[in-house]
Structure 1
Amino acid sequence: MTSNLVIGSTGVVGSHILSTLLADKSVSAVHTISRRAPKSTGPTLHPTVEADTTQWAAKLSAISPVPSTVFSALGTTRAQAGGIANQWKIDHDLNVELARAAKAAGVRRFVFVSSAGTRGMFSKSVPYSQMKRGVEDTVEGLGFETAIILRPGLILADREQPHQGGPFLIGAVRGLGRWFGQGMQDWVGQEGEVIARAAVHAAKLAEQGKAPGKYWVLEQSDIVRLGRTEWKD
């Protein structure tokens, strides 16, 4: 029976991580910290609503007993944040602060939803990749019992606030799956629910001592395997 914390529980992937954990009878408690209440509910849910993100690290540290696993699917867009500097504060700075708070509190496993291409040829000149790389490197360096990084491609999901051009792009990628097979779609993007299930599946394997190492990176093919091919409800 495990206790978990989900950061980013109102977002596309985070909301699926939350609903997946709430449906899991082996999970004793699911905590969330968010600016607004999550949509999912359940008897094991313990939500903390705090509009001031500077208080989130303290809220994390105050959770008792300490969650065994923290999932972070926290992220925003440049447009929603109001510029690259504000996006950096959320996607990088807040994630780094929460990872450090989790380690200090005694959390054993940390799962971070990053992005594909963070180590690509031109990634060092792309601010979004720089943000994700910085969080990945911090999480690796903190020395969790297990640190799990997911690097999905395009996240396929219907959003409350669609990105500019997002619905068209998502429709096109899903079209690849219909016309050329699921493998073609998986090569470009993964459904939000599949990414979430992969995160939960990987955390369970780590809890069972079955992770391949202390630092485990899931690329797109790994996400599809754990989140769909090998997933059992």
Structure 2
Amino acid sequence: MPDTPTPLIWLAGASGLVGRALLWELGQQRGQERPVPPVLALLRRPAPSLPVQTALVDYAQPASFAALPAPGQVFIALGTTIAQAGSQAAFRAVDFDAVLTVARAARQAGARRCALVSALGADPRSSVFYNRVKGEAEAALVALGFERLVIARPSLLDGERASLGQPARRGEQWALRLMRPVAGLIPAAWRPITPERVARGLRLALAQEGAAVQVLDSAALQTVGD
């Protein structure tokens, strides 16, 4: 009997801190006895240095996903800041519209599992615009009806954006300078977390059986797999 093809993984946001960590995390499974799904990184522009197959998509054009090979699961690590985006509308276009476009395209193509990188404080009823958009994106993905949806809500990411060619986030840099020396005294739900921890937590949680929707706060992400 021929082997059953291993379902593909879509990864959106591979150029970011958690996205790059996910590339490494998913790649560490290679060589194990259990078949590992190949990864397809969805990109807005070419990135020849990525160690996986890539596909160019337009997040504002859902039709650009139609020709992609069907995934079994999808990891979504898209995100920006209002300062980088330039306006609230541009921020929402990434953190809500693009996220939902990827998730909906994956679901329509047959994906059964989805992992989303959200943020601490995400709440669709929040008075804070950033948190509200993040919460609305979570709710929109829940409504798509994945068999399993894992949502990560990390606190401040402790990673080096410059090494990825990303613009500096000054507020983030100052916060890290203040918090790193006393990280051990900060409650786990609030202390900075590395992108690698977030990526590992998402991969392990999505691979498990469990509730249709599971939310992992930063404290849980710190210990998944330990």
TM-score by length of 1: 0.83
Q: 2:193 aligns with which of 150, 169, 190?
A: 190
Q: Tell me the equivalent position of 1:224.
A: 222
Higher mean alpha-carbon deviation, 10-19 vs 183-192, is at 183-192
Q: Deviations over 1:135-184 (max 9, x none)?
A: 1111111111101111111111111311123222112222113xx45x64
Match runs of 1:74-223 below 5 Å:
74-119=78-123, 124-159=126-161, 160-177=166-183, 180=184, 184=187, 187-205=190-208, 210-211=209-210, 213-223=211-221
Task: Mark the runs of 5 or more structure 2 residues left unpaired by the alignment.
Answer: 1-5
Which secondary structure does the structure 1 equivalent of 2:157 belong to?
strand
Find the aligned partners of 1:133 and 1:82 in 2 and give their Cα distance: 21
Q: How far does residue 192 in structure 1 lie from its aligned partner after superposition?
A: 1.1
> CA 1:146/1:23 → structure 2, altered by over 3 Å: closer, same or farther?
same
Instruction: Judge conservation of contact 1:6–1:32 (CA < 8 Å) in 2.
Output: yes
Which secondary structure does the structure 2 equivalent of 1:166 belong to?
helix
Match runs of 1:12-23 below 5 Å:
12-23=17-28
Q: Tell me the equivalent position of 1:53.
A: 59
Find the aligned partners of 1:196 and 1:187 in 2 and give their Cα distance: 17
1:30 aligns with 2:39: yes
Q: C-alpha root-mean-square deviation of aligned residues, in Å?
A: 2.1
Q: What one-letter code is carried by the residue in structure 2 that aligns with 1:138?
A: A
Instruction: Judge conservation of contact 1:3–1:68 (CA < 8 Å) in 2.
Output: yes
Q: How far does residue 41 in structure 1 lie from its aligned partner after superposition?
A: 3.9
Which secondary structure does the structure 1 equivalent of 2:201 belong to?
helix
Instruction: Judge conservation of contact 1:19–1:40 (CA < 8 Å) in 2.
Output: no
The alignment-based identity, stated in percent, is: 30
Q: Deviations over 1:179-230 (max 9, x none)?
A: x45x64663221111111111111222xxxx22x00111111211111xxx2
Q: What one-letter code is carried by the residue in structure 2 that aligns with 1:4?
A: I
Which secondary structure does the structure 2 equivalent of 1:188 belong to?
coil
Which secondary structure does the structure 2 equivalent of 1:157 belong to?
coil
Q: How far does residue 94 in structure 1 lie from its aligned partner after superposition?
A: 1.3
Task: Mark the runs of 5 or more structure 1 residues left unpaired by the alignment.
Answer: none
Q: Which has the larger helix fraction? A: 1
* Dislocated runs of 4+, deviation >6 Å: none
Q: What one-letter code is carried by the residue in structure 2 that aligns with 1:30?
A: V
> CA 1:41/1:98 → structure 2, altered by over 3 Å: closer, same or farther?
closer
TM-score by length of 2: 0.85
Instruction: Judge conservation of contact 2:179–2:191 (CA < 8 Å) in 1.
Output: yes
Which secondary structure does the structure 2 equivalent of 1:190 belong to?
coil
Q: How far does residue 2 in structure 1 lie from its aligned partner after superposition?
A: 4.3
Instruction: Judge conservation of contact 2:148–2:213 (CA < 8 Å) in 1.
Output: yes
Instruction: Judge conservation of contact 1:110–1:144 (CA < 8 Å) in 2.
Output: yes
